[in-house]
């Protein structure tokens, strides 16, 4: 595509530099609903046997008490990351009794909005803040939308690579600013090319009809209980998913870290009339943290985020301002309902090659026209990505998806080959070959396979999902944790509960003052 990519690949292929590629870090966050044995949302509290959702490092909750989130450590080997994720699943299943983990991204048949339980985190001020924030989400977007689950894939290049690339580029900025700028460049390329991930890994072409709560839509009826689009790849990432009129003007195109931070700080500080009309409290009860466009920066819903590990009490934006970008979090991945963990090593290997390509490929600033085209391509693929002859926009011209996808995969292949060279395997090239097969034959994509299963078995979305959930539960329960693993997990549970108890026993000021200080902290960075 240009001369920068081969120059950078050539530098990293040098014998002294090649081992650095083995030090890329990977982490996975997998969300999933707890359901009862019949596939209905579990209305039980977060099991205490899984530890404190506030303080446990690997098992927490996302929006609802019923929405678990499993978090792996960052590891240099994606295979180890997947092994960590599987162990967390097994640990959870050791304590779930007859409950199941829901297999796809789109929710099970949901009860009334009032019955969906918001996650609770105890009586400490930070625990209360997390609860009130979620009350605000319910008020702003509805509870059903918050029950959609996904996979977040965290990825970073080793710190030692950046000085090499900075020298090659002849860049004169500070090391921290160069690294941040290059991660922002990765994100721009992700915006350009992430439609491909939706085609290859989108797995939500159908949903339970009750999810829309009678709202108008353009979906088709597959059966009495299932809505779908025939060529959709990811309804989760379409305009049926997490939407907000308040956020519609928030579309940072990531041309630099400062403008990204500024746009989020502004949104957290700017009142939104509809939210201001509701207010923050009613009859002494908190409704939302504030009445601004965003309550906190994490409320901004994006397909990828620049991230930095935070210190205790530090906000995400404060960490970015203080120390720059450390890794990226890709957030657009559906849970594959055919896989026990929702993701497998083949997908992870391809994601590594894709994200490294985005980092090494030249990444010019996004014009407003290209930004609009990137959004348009993404939304077109999630709703009709498998439509024969579908065209996308590329450099101002229409081009057939299959042609553009093959061109992109050809470029990524060079990165995959270099990763295999560094690891002494052919795993990345093998994964890429599998993705090329999906481009040649759309029936191989997860989204097509979901619809094929529904038709083959005469199942509704909910019936198919429950069947898959039971299959995965049987697999994960068939190989319980070893005695040593169970002891380590039990210790982590006990420590997390003790940590929450310590937080709740420490002297604390009023919750009102705590919220005010928390709000002020983002404006002081």
State phi, psi for 475 to the nearest 5 degrees. -65, -50
**Measured distance CA(91)–CA(491) in Å, rounded:** 12
> SS3 for 426?
coil
The enclosing H or E element of 80 equals: helix 78-93
Question: Is residue 1 very low, low, confident or very high in pLDDT (cuts 50, 70, 90)?
Answer: very low
Are 298 and 134 contacting, i.e. CB atoms less than 8 angstroms apart? no
Work out the average pLDDT over 102-114: 98
Q: 93-97, 131-135, 179-183, 211-215: lowest mean pLDDT where? A: 211-215
Residue of 183, 194, 177, 181 whose CA lies nearest to 327: 183
CB 71 within 8 A of CB 60: yes
CB contact at 8 A, 194 and 336: no
pLDDT digits (tens, 9 = 90+) for 381-405: 999 999 999 999 999 999 999 999 9
pLDDT at 251: 63
Model pLDDT, residue 86:
98
Owning domain of residue 155:
4-523
Specify the pLDDT at position 496.
98
Specify the pLDDT at position 249: 67
**pLDDT tens profile 442-483:** 999 999 999 999 999 999 999 999 999 999 999 999 999 999
Beta carbons within 8 Å of 435's beta carbon, 6+ residues apart: 200, 350, 409
Q: What is the pLDDT of residue 3?
A: 76
Residues 196, 355, 153, 468, Cα dihedral to 10°: 40
Q: What is the pLDDT of residue 248?
A: 67
For the chain, the residue count is 525
Number of structural domains found in the chain: 1
CATH code, domain with 12: 3.30.590.20
Q: How many CB atoms lie within 10 A of CB 433?
A: 15
Q: Which helix (H) or strand (E) holds 227?
A: strand 226-228
- 461, 207 contact by CB (below 8 A): yes
200-217 pLDDT per residue, tens: 999 999 999 999 998 889
User: At residue 274, does pLDDT exceed 70?
Assistant: yes
CA distance 143 to 110: 10
What is the tens place of the pLDDT at every residue in 282-297?
Answer: 999 999 999 999 999 9
241 has pLDDT over 90: no
Distances (CA, A) of 318 to 185, 211, 310, 312, 518: 21, 37, 8, 12, 12
Beta carbons within 10 angstroms of residue 249's beta carbon: 10
pLDDT tier for residue 266 given thresholds of 50, 70 and 90: confident
Interatomic CA distance for residues 100 and 473, integer angstroms: 7
In this predicted model, which residue has the larger pLDDT, 109 or 301? 109
- For residue 523, the model assigns a pLDDT of 72
């Amino acid at each position: 595509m240009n001369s920068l990519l081969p120059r950078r690949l050539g530098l990293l292929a040098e014998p002294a530099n090649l081992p650095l590629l083995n030090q890329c870090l990977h982490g996975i966050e997998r969300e999933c609903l707890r359901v009862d044995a019949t596939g209905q949302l579990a209305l039980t509290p977060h099991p205490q046997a899984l530890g404190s959702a506030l303080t446990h490092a690997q098992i927490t909750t996302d929006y609802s008490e019923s929405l678990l989130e499993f978090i792996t450590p960052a590891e240099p080997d994606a295979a180890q990351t997947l092994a960590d994720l599987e162990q967390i699943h097994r640990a959870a299943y050791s304590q779930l009794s007859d409950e199941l983990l829901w297999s796809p991204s789109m929710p099970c048949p949901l009860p009334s909005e009032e019955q969906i339980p918001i996650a609770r985190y105890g009586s400490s001020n930070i625990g209360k803040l997390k609860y009130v924030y979620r009350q605000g989400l319910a008020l702003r977007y509805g509870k059903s939308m918050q029950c959609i689950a996904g996979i977040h894939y965290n990825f970073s290049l080793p710190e030692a690579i950046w000085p090499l690339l900075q020298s090659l580029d002849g860049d004169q900025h500070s090391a921290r600013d160069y690294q941040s700028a290059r991660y922002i460049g990765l994100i721009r390329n992700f915006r350009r090319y992430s439609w491909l991930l939706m085609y290859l890994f989108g797995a939500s072409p159908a949903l339970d009809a009750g999810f829309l709560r009678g709202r108008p839509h353009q979906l088709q009826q597959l059966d009495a209980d299932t809505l779908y689009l025939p060529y959709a790849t990811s309804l989760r990432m379409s305009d049926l998913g997490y939407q907000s009129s308040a956020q519609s003007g928030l579309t940072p195109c990531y041309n630099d870290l400062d403008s990204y931070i500024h746009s989020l700080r502004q949104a957290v500080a700017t009142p939104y009339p509809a939210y201001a009309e509701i207010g923050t409290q009613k009859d002494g009860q908190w409704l939302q943290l504030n009445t601004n466009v965003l309550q906190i920066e994490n409320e901004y819903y994006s397909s990828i985020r620049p991230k930095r590990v935070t210190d205790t009490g530090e906000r995400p934006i404060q960490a970015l301002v203080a120390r720059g970008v450390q890794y990226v979090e890709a957030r657009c991945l559906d849970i594959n309902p055919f896989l026990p963990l929702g993701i497998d090593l083949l997908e992870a290997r391809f994601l590594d090659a894709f994200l490294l390509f985005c980092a090494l490929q030249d990444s010019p600033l996004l014009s407003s026209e290209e930004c609009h085209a990137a959004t348009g391509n993404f939304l077109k693929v999630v709703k009709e990505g498998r439509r024969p002859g579908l065209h996308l926009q590329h450099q101002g011209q229409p081009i057939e998806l299959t042609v553009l996808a093959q061109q992109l995969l050809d470029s990524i292949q060079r990165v995959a080959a270099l990763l295999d060279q560094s690891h002494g395997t052919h795993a990345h090239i093998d994964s890429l070959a599998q993705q090329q097969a999906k481009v040649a034959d759309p029936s191989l994509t997860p989204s097509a396979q979901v619809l094929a299963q529904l038709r083959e078995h005469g199942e509704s979305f909910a019936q198919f999902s429950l069947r898959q959930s039971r299959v995965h539960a049987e697999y994960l329960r068939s190989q319980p944790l070893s005695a040593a693993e169970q002891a380590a997990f039990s210790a982590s549970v006990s420590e997390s509960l003790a940590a929450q108890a310590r937080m709740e026993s420490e002297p604390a000021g009023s919750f009102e003052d705590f919220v005010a200080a928390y709000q002020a902290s983002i404006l002081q960075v």
